[in-house]
Amino acid sequence: MNKNRARNKELLRSLKFLLFSISAGIIEIAVFTILNELTGWSYWPCYLIGLVLSVLWNFTLNRRYTFQSASNVPVAMVKVFVFYCVFTPLSTVLGNFLAEELLWNEYLVTVLNMAANFILEFLYDRFFVFRDSIDTNDLARKKAEGMPGK
């Protein structure tokens, strides 16, 4: 594969990740907003529930369509789970501190957490979780079969 094709492929992969992350972000902020506005709960349970639902959505779509990985789903999920074992406590504690103690706007805090999550998870998924299995699923194989000169 020439450099331009490889660069374009990675650019498209990044764009797909962005679009799926936006959809996951919509899920996260919608769940957060519903819980924040209707339950009277503190910041952290609203954030945590929204985060978990968005992660499940994002993992499923990005594994299949962005990274087109045929890797073992439980193994990939465990790797993502390990990422969230670090990210979730840090972002939850920091977010709760900013929203509850420093009285930052809870929506601003959530958006900042979402931006950090987007950047860190893309790098983690691309270079660790799916590193050796990118473009190995049935979608990637069908696409490769249909491309002349590959």
- Give residue 148's pLDDT: 55
- From CA 121, how far away is CA 128, in angstroms rounded? 10
Helices and strands (H and E) in the chain: how many: 5, 0
pLDDT digits (tens, 9 = 90+) for 28-50: 999 999 999 999 999 999 999 99
91-97 contact pairs (CB < 8 A, 24+) = 91/47, 91/51, 91/116, 91/117, 92/44, 92/47, 92/48, 95/43, 95/44, 95/47, 96/42, 96/43, 96/44, 96/47
137: its two tokens: 């699923």
- pTM comes to 0.83
Residue 125 pLDDT > 70 = yes
- From CA 52, how far away is CA 58, in angstroms rounded? 10
Residue 57 pLDDT > 90 = yes
pLDDT digits (tens, 9 = 90+) for 2-32: 888 889 999 999 999 999 999 999 999 999 9
Mean pLDDT of 103-113: 94
- Give residue 2's pLDDT: 82
